[in-house]
Structure 1
Amino acid sequence: MKRIWLLGLVLLLVLAGCTNSETAGGGETGQTGDGKVKVTFWHSMGGDAGKALQKIVDNYNAKQTKVFVQTEYQGSYEEALTKLKTVGGTPEAPTLMQVYEVGTKFMSESGYIQPVQNFIDKEQFDLSQLEENIAGYYRIDGKLYSMPFNTSNAVMFYNKDKFRDAGLDPEKPPRTFSEVREAAEKLTDSAKDEKGFAILIYGWFIEQLMANQGADYLDEGNGRKGEPAKTLLNGPEGLRIYQWLDEMNKEGVLGNYGRKWDDIRAAFKAGKVAIYLDSTAATASNVKDSPFEVGTGFLPVPDGVEPKGVIIGGGSIWMMNSVSDEQKAAGWDFLKFVAQPDTQAQWAVDTGYFPITKAAYDEKILQDTYAKYPQYLTAVKQLQSTKLTIATQGALMSVFPEARAEVENSIEKLYGGADAQKVLDETAEKINKLLADHKKVSK
């Protein structure tokens, strides 16, 4: 009996220890062991960007004594969103969640979130300090649903050394589709398997090239004036893009490096491709790690078309509605810290993403970086020269991830020899079906 009694006592102590450990770690209490409010922050920043994000969090945790932010990496944007769907609306959900820009429509309709506009209105937070072209993407019906964070756009990177060797002006990157094609022809060396131009097989770039022509991606005001029923991808603007890629592919001057960011970036740094399109998030790595001089340029447009600008990429931070009011308030305090000029300036220096806060450009650390690496400024100038329209504000649809996958499939078919207009029409039909199916389910 004595042994049984002792065993029971040990089990009780173990269970008590587990309970105390859960309370100390956060759990449903939302507090750490030392009484701080715990904010759990799910994110998708890996590598150097992940380290830069942790630096922001560590700085915040060190500068105040009431809140502790704990970051938890959840894999890619797609993987993170899948995980959220299993816990959204429950106490197991994080306080804050980073979501990529095309998840905006889904998140706003998910029932999981509390718009940050609620805190903005309550505190009369000055939104004019944010870049309008950035805040505009995340604003729906005049309400800011999430706090912009890692903000990028698509830019051109090119190898200045190869430009010089080919007799091209390294200070004048190509600005039009035909100029890119002509440069790619001069920069291609088939004997060395070196291509003149490449673009990642990723739907985001097609969206960007559409917007730069002033073209909406969806009907119903790009999905911002009503529930969209069809895509406009297979219109003349989309056809120009696909024909341009098709022509360069058939000439052998276009490199196909698949769908993985790391593969096309590695090809550029290895000198296997001279010009390619990428996110501004690659700026720091490309400029500092490439064994040659790197140039940056604006996104190209078809000949005779005036550039209209770009859609922002990257992601924003959302507040969950299933956590305590205390955690929400703590999460909002952290979001304000993230938006501070000094925080945004350091983030831009460490990653190549550009600041969401206008005053960040006045910070010395960012001014010094831009002076040393003018390549960073291309994305900033491109963003600031963009006129905020329905096209550049970006499309909204709940099935955006699925639509992007269809676009990526279509580009592979194009490279495989399919007719540009035919493959666009087939892709548009598939996206339209996705929209129709979603409308039926959401009723």
Structure 2
Amino acid sequence: MKKIVIALLMLSLSFTAIFAQGSSETTKSTVQENTPIEITFWHIFGDARGQWIEDRVQEFNNMQDKYHVTQENKGNYRDTLQASLLAYRQGSAPTLVHIAEAGSQVAYDSGIFKPISEIGAFDTSDYIEPVLNYYTINGKVNSIPFNSSSPVLYINTDMLVQAGYDRDWTPNTFSDVIESLEKAQAAGITDAKYTDGIHAWFFEELVAEQGGYMYNNGNGRDSRATEALLGGEAGLRVAQFYKDLSDKGLLAWTGKVEDWGGSDNIFTNEKAMYHMTSTGDINVISEGAKGKFDLNVGMLPIASGTKRNGTVIGGGSIWLTKGHTQEEMEGARDFILYMTNTDNMVSWHKLSGYYPVRKSSVEKLDSEGWFGSDSLQTVAFNQLLDTIPNKATAGALGGTVYDHRTYIEEALVKIINGEDVETEMNEAIVLTNAKIKEYNANF
């Protein structure tokens, strides 16, 4: 027996770690000859995306008889991770688990997952580098990217033209955003505002674009994070951007944080000229704008005087749990590699709007003319492909990502309502540092 760390997600929306006695990695008894080896896959998707996964499962099952895969939607990311950790303790863990990028450190620290790169060699050269970069920890690919995204700036070009701009113009800096909104307002377009869901993921992306870190020790990539930076000066510039928008009456939001749907509605109902949200929402936004206004997509704005560095990959990846036979693990790997192969990632992208994670998929889409001159996806892909692989764009790695996101969102709400930028961001750092100390005490 050995002591392993099991990190559990609390209903209070923060992670806590507890120590539990768990069995060392066990090997299940060999299955009877001719009996398919069972592979279980827990993920977060319902709707058409869940059906897409089920279709791939059935295809894989029909194309061979050695393995039999079953899939199940376990709710949101936090619920799925928590259920997996608990199931492992009870000896009934799924083979494969769909985990958000923000949960990577907790998944890694839990000790219940095996790096996918240890299950025999497979070619990683076809994966888009900034995508694979996020899930590489201590030099090992720990999970296979699946639904990857980053935010972009959606633009109501009808409002933009009414304000005197060319239809294909996009703002490059925070100042460009504010100046163009002020110009639109002066032209009588009172609904010309900026909106987003007030999610700390957007804050992190705008920090990464400036090369800033959320944590010390190389953003948690060199060694375990012991101190929160929350972007430092880069973070203060982002928070000031929100304050400037609010102070000038140029911010439209629902009053709730992490309100993805609410901000989408503000934009598609023509109550904002700019909307920052995920590339995974391109299809939703396009459908919502249809028949109302012309839509364009721009790269994320950056702080004036800074150089564009790139974005951090959001979304989720597929992790492999320990405690299975070599055959089971190889079967699980083969299924995930099938589900994320070139053709399937093309299909997935067209359905969902998420990035295909393979270069060959991008090439195939390009050969089909998918990225035409008027394609909204073109800017999103260029933003991804132009990202500089470094520790800022690799993303923050820490067991308190969900915590620091909560504190940043609380700070932003206060800043939007008139409080001081530096005071509120410093408070978020203090609160995060307390959580880091608590989390790291378990290791």
Band the TM-score falls in, shorter-chain normalisation: 0.7 to 0.9
Cα contact 2:372–2:378 (8 A) shared by 1: no
Matches within 5 A, 1:151-300: 151-188=148-185, 194-233=191-230, 235-257=232-254, 258=256, 259-291=258-290, 292-300=293-301
Work out the CA distance in 2 between the residues paired with 1:248 and 1:345.
Answer: 38
Q: Corresponding residue for 1:17?
A: none
Aligned CA-pair RMSD: 2.4
Q: Indicate whether 1:142 and 2:164 are aligned.
A: no
Q: Indicate whether 1:125 and 2:126 are aligned.
A: no
Counterpart amino acid of 2:118? N
Q: Which secondary structure does the structure 1 equivalent of 2:368 belong to?
A: helix
Work out the CA distance in 2 between the residues paired with 1:318 and 1:285.
Answer: 28
Work out the CA distance in 1 between the residues paired with 2:434 and 2:365.
Answer: 51
Deviation of 1:80 after TM superposition, in Å, equals 1.6
Cα contact 1:234–1:424 (8 A) shared by 2: no
Q: Corresponding residue for 1:393?
A: 394
Cα contact 2:349–2:356 (8 A) shared by 1: yes
Structure 1 residues 70 and 305, CA, compared in 2 at 3 Å: closer, same or farther?
A: same
Work out the CA distance in 2 between the residues paired with 1:60 and 1:372.
Answer: 36
TM-score, reference length from structure 1: 0.87
Q: Corresponding residue for 1:16?
A: none
Cα contact 2:159–2:189 (8 A) shared by 1: no
Structure 1 residues 160 and 54, CA, compared in 2 at 3 Å: closer, same or farther?
A: farther
Counterpart amino acid of 2:197? L
Q: Corresponding residue for 1:96?
A: 96
Cα contact 1:219–1:231 (8 A) shared by 2: yes
Q: Corresponding residue for 1:339?
A: 340
Q: Which secondary structure does the structure 2 equivalent of 1:411 belong to?
A: helix
Work out the CA distance in 2 between the residues paired with 1:77 and 1:231.
Answer: 23
Work out the CA distance in 2 between the residues paired with 1:145 and 1:35.
Answer: 29
Q: Residues 115-143 of structure 1, C-alpha deviation per residue, up to 9 Å, x if partnerless?
A: 10111xx2x31111111111111111110
Q: Which secondary structure does the structure 1 equivalent of 2:113 belong to?
A: coil
Work out the CA distance in 2 between the residues paired with 1:64 and 1:190.
Answer: 64
Counterpart amino acid of 2:148? T
Q: Corresponding residue for 1:57?
A: 57
Q: Residues 239-289 of structure 1, C-alpha deviation per residue, up to 9 Å, x if partnerless?
A: 111111101101111012322211111221111222111111001222234
Cα contact 1:89–1:112 (8 A) shared by 2: no
Q: Corresponding residue for 2:15?
A: none
TM-score, reference length from structure 2: 0.87
Work out the CA distance in 2 between the residues paired with 1:372 and 1:66.
Answer: 45
Counterpart amino acid of 2:399? S
Q: Corresponding residue for 1:302?
A: 303
Matches within 5 A, 1:306-325: 306-325=307-326
Deviation of 1:191 after TM superposition, in Å, equals 9.5
Work out the CA distance in 2 between the residues paired with 1:188 and 1:48.
Answer: 39
Work out the CA distance in 2 between the residues paired with 1:41 and 1:366.
Answer: 33
Counterpart amino acid of 1:73? N
Counterpart amino acid of 1:262? G
Structure 1 residues 36 and 388, CA, compared in 2 at 3 Å: closer, same or farther?
A: same
Q: Greater share of helix residues, 1 or 2?
A: 1
Q: Residues 138-175 of structure 1, C-alpha deviation per residue, up to 9 Å, x if partnerless?
A: 11111011111111111111112222222222201111
Q: Corresponding residue for 2:7?
A: none
Identity %, equivalent residues = 28
Q: Residues 328-377 of structure 1, C-alpha deviation per residue, up to 9 Å, x if partnerless?
A: 22211101102311111111111111111111123258733323861112
Q: Which secondary structure does the structure 1 equivalent of 2:85 belong to?
A: helix
Work out the CA distance in 2 between the residues paired with 1:135 and 1:95.
Answer: 21
Q: Which moved more, 1:110-119 or 1:370-379?
A: 370-379
Unaligned runs of 5+ in 2: 1-27
Unaligned runs of 5+ in 1: 1-27
